[in-house]
A and B are shown apart, each in its own frame.
Chain A
Amino acid sequence: MSSTDQNSPASDLSAPLNKPSDADTSADNESTTHFGYKTIEKDDKISMVAGVFHSVAKQYDVMNDLMSFGIHRLWKRFTIDASGVRPGNKVLDLAGGTGDLTAKFSQLVGREGKVVLADINSSMLNVGRDKLRDKGLVQNIEYVQANAEYLPFEENTFDIVTIAFGLRNVTDKDKALRSIYSVLKPGGRLLVLEFSKPENELLNKAYDFYSFNILPKMGELVAKDGASYQYLAESIRMHPDQETLKGMMENAGFEQTSFKNLTGGVVALHKGYKF
């Protein structure tokens, strides 16, 4: 995606941090929402997010390793460790993209279990499907193109739902959380792995510098797509902080909610149960 596109997430990569004020970010109104730091019509967000992920799909895994120095693999391992997954479980890896979590879950649930890799974006799903097939993971994985806000599954279907680095891209997060709640079995758990608010001010500043000055340039250099990576950085800052997300999960019906900060709160893993 070039930075002159109509739907370009951000046109000026060297722009200083101009995060909207808290009043702007506190609540989306009826018809508008955020796309990074921009306020846009809700109806436009899906196609704009789609633009980003169609654009980054092929380079997504390489960029993930580069941008996070490989640490995303450890965050994902932590998520698997916290999932309590057992042989025979049914797992939904929502906004699963290129399928890192799906790959591990598929090996852990075994032949008796099932993993559904669901994503709104066909390009990401295709890259994921090819990657998992190349790894020989075929027998217990299903691929479904779906919007997290309207999950096309029966109520009480899954033992575990994970959404890793996906929720911040969803237009109506509350609706998505309610939809996830509905498809979880009673006793099932949701794990939300997402960028969050660093606990320490110094880390926060360093992280801001990295995200807005280095990350988009890396995106430009490696994936020839600085604008998408500028969007990713902005969308991270616009995502609700740890306590707010925990509250949103509770509003959707989740119980025994908790979160664990990883890497100083750069990322947090939220957990909640449906009873």
Chain B
Amino acid sequence: MQPFNNQAVTKFSTQLISRLLLPQVATATLELIINKALALNNNKSLSFSAVAQKTLTLELAELPFTLCFTVNTTPNQTVVIVRSSTECSDCTINTSISTLNKLKANQSLTQLIKQDELDVIGDIKIAQQFANIAQSLEIDWQTELAKHLGDVPTHKLLQFGNKITKSLAATGKQVEADIGEYLVHEKRLVVTSSQLNAFNQKTKDVANKVNSLSARIDKLVANIANK
């Protein structure tokens, strides 16, 4: 019998996921949920200008595709567009859901970065600003849910929701504080594997650009020669 080929299985499942357009299903669903939540925000002083047209990308080890979040603001509304792409990020966080759980358990961001469990490529301040906004949203779930569910189920649901919100808020604060600390004390000292990867990618990008340019120059030279 053929040995179980892990790489082949991974390739097959990635292809299947892409064939079923699962990344697009996931991004469409997330986009809907996030924008519904934004529409319910009561904190009118919340400003999105720092992240306008900025893109934060999450690469989670458990997901075979990326999640990119871009904020678009107009005078009338703010929306978040969620995509699955590798081409468009201002800040990319490379981690796993289990690491995010460790963050909740108060392990520091700097530690996780040093242990190669969490990588940040690009402008880390963007991640900080996204975390800040997520924390500052004020949504009156009670009123909103009661409209649809009635008062008693809403009360029960909110008791449960409060627990989760508290834990999320704690994680958000931790991330924010850690990023601050990381920016001040650590950033210049650590070279992570994904920074190396990013460097390699940038080198490849430059090489591609040089190739495009040389193709263009060839074409121009040929055009001149033909005249």
Contact = CB atoms under 8 A, between A and B. Distances in A.
B24 A78 contact: yes
B74 A263 contact: no
Interface string A229-271: 0000000000000000000000000010000001110000000
Interface residues of A, number: 30
Interface in A50-88: 71, 73-75, 77-78, 80-82, 84-87
Nearest to A139: B74
Interface string B129-150: 0000000000000000000000
Interface string A127-148: 0000000001101000000000
Interface stretch (B5-13, B56-64, B81-89, B156-164): B81-89
A74 B28 contact: yes
Given A87-B53, A108-B81, A275-B212, A136 B23 contact: no
B81 A85 contact: no
Contacts of A11: none
B52 interface: yes
Contact of A107 (B28, B79, B84): B79
B85 A84 contact: yes
Interface of B: 19, 21, 23-25, 27-28, 52-53, 70, 72, 74, 76-77, 79, 81, 83-85, 87-88, 212, 215-216, 219
10 contacts: A77-B21, A77-B28, A81-B85, A82-B85, A87-B53, A107-B72, A139-B74, A264-B19, A273-B212, A275-B215
Q: Which 4 A-B pairs have the closest CB atoms?
A: A107-B72, A84-B87, A87-B53, A110-B53
Interface of A: 71, 73-75, 77-78, 80-82, 84-87, 104, 107-108, 110-112, 136-137, 139, 186-187, 255, 262-264, 273, 275
